[in-house]
Amino acid sequence: MLASLIETCKLNAVEPQTYLADVLTRLVNHRPNSRIDELLPWSYAA
């Protein structure tokens, strides 16, 4: 699953390490579930 996520990042021109660090930080800081789709690699804006 992690390999698939990393490859999806690459396909969408998102740097995987930065993406994962940012997404995990946002999740820990109680991001609302209604906005979780904003964190998907294809709609992610750093």
The 10s digit of each residue's pLDDT in 5-46 is 999 999 999 999 999 999 999 999 988 888 888 889 999 875
Burial of 44 (0-12, 13-18, 19+ CB in 10 A): middle
d(CA 15, CA 37): 18
The number of folded domains in the chain is 1
Query: CA separation (Å) from 3 to 6, 12, 31, 35?
Result: 5, 14, 24, 24
Quote the pLDDT of residue 12: 94
Q: Which domain holds residue 13?
A: 2-43
